[in-house]
Chain A
Amino acid sequence: MPSAARHPVRFGVVVFPGSNCDTDAHHAIGTFPGATARYLWHKDTDLGGVDAVILPGGFSYGDYLRCGAIARFSPIMQAVRDFAEGGGLVIGICNGFQTLVESGLLPGGLLRNMGLKFVCRYVNLRVENADTPFTSSCREGDLLRIIVKHNEGNYAVDAETLERMKANGQIVLCYADARGELTAAANPNGAVESIAGICNETFNVFGMMPHPENSVEAHMAGGSDGRKIFQSMIDAVMQRAEVPA
């Protein structure tokens, strides 16, 4: 049965104890006329009918044991897992990305930064794949200027999985210099092949270390390149709504 295109697109922002970018993510979504955001508490067991889920940055459960390791077992994550397995759009930002790899919803792992320091700086992200629900507002090769702020963002994955991810186009964003080259100096954390953001095999789950929610307003110092990520998600949900089920 065809379902009517629905406005606005409803985002759910998961709040774990220790999340600290949840409010920023909620605010960022609020800057889009076509979208609304609500919070989802970590003890909730359903997503309240949202169209897309954001796992925000922060220090969920104090980063005890490993970043994201405890968040993975919270009641809301079972609902997020079911939602993702049903094709729902899930973006994990920073600690949210760490939670997604710990959950096994994304491949690989995130290690301590190679320089052993917390890194807080703007980076250039080269769009490696613009044919995803998270980057469709970009063109391949575009550079997005977005901030990173993390201590464990050093993406690692075994060689075999990495080759498969590359062949599938699952490497979505890489750290680049101002000319778009993937240099060691432009890589803030030592991530393998300068990887900053990846998708799962079905391209509905996405994790990225940088914070697009902090770059959504042109009048702010950080610019508004982060809008492209959320606009892509909004467009993807709208397109799905227009396609007869």
Chain B
Amino acid sequence: MNVRVYITPKQGILDPQGATVERALPNLGFEGVSGVRIGKFIEFKLDPPAGTTAAQAEAEVDEMCRKLLANPIIEDFTFAIDEG
């Protein structure tokens, strides 16, 4: 399965990069943009043992995110798992 992890600065923590980009977009004529957060995108393939349920795979990826891929103290994360 293909896993895609999206990591952004935790809500409530200032994101100076996002704020700068948000101010730049209107200068180029793109109006109506708000809430820009700049983070990271991580993708990988996961080949779990036969019989692994979708829920188990999700739990495993969630643990990967908490333990290494993201730092939950300063970052939020979401992920998507696709078969194939």
A residues near B (Cβ < 8 Å) are: 65-66, 69, 73, 101-102, 107-112, 114-116, 156-158, 190
Contact = CB atoms under 8 A, between A and B. Distances in A.
Contact of B68 (A65, A110, A112, A114): A65
Contacts, number: 32
Contact of B73 (A73, A108, A115, A190): A108
Contacts of B68: 65, 69, 73
B20 A109 contact: no
B13 A156 contact: yes
A111 B13 contact: yes
Given A69-B68, A114-B16, A109 B9 contact: no
B57 interface: no
Contacts of A101: 73
Given A65-B68, A65-B69, A69-B68, A111 B17 contact: no
Main secondary structure of the interface of A (DSSP, over half): loop
Most chain A C-beta atoms within 10 Å of own C-beta, residue among B9, B20, B73 = B73
B20 A156 contact: no
B78 interface: no
Interface residues of B, number: 11
B9 A111 contact: yes
B16 A69 contact: no
Nearest to B38: A112
A114 B74 contact: no
A101 B75 CA distance: 13
Contacts of B69: 65
B71 interface: yes
Given A65-B68, A69-B71, A111-B9, 10 more contacts: A65-B69, A107-B73, A108-B73, A109-B73, A111-B74, A115-B16, A116-B16, A156-B73, A157-B73, A190-B16
A158 B11 CA distance: 11
B17 A112 contact: yes
B33 interface: no
B13 to A, nearest CB: 6
Contacts of B74: 109-111, 156
Contacts of B17: 112, 116
A66 B14 contact: no
Contacts of A66: 71
Contact of A114 (B9, B14, B71, B73): B14
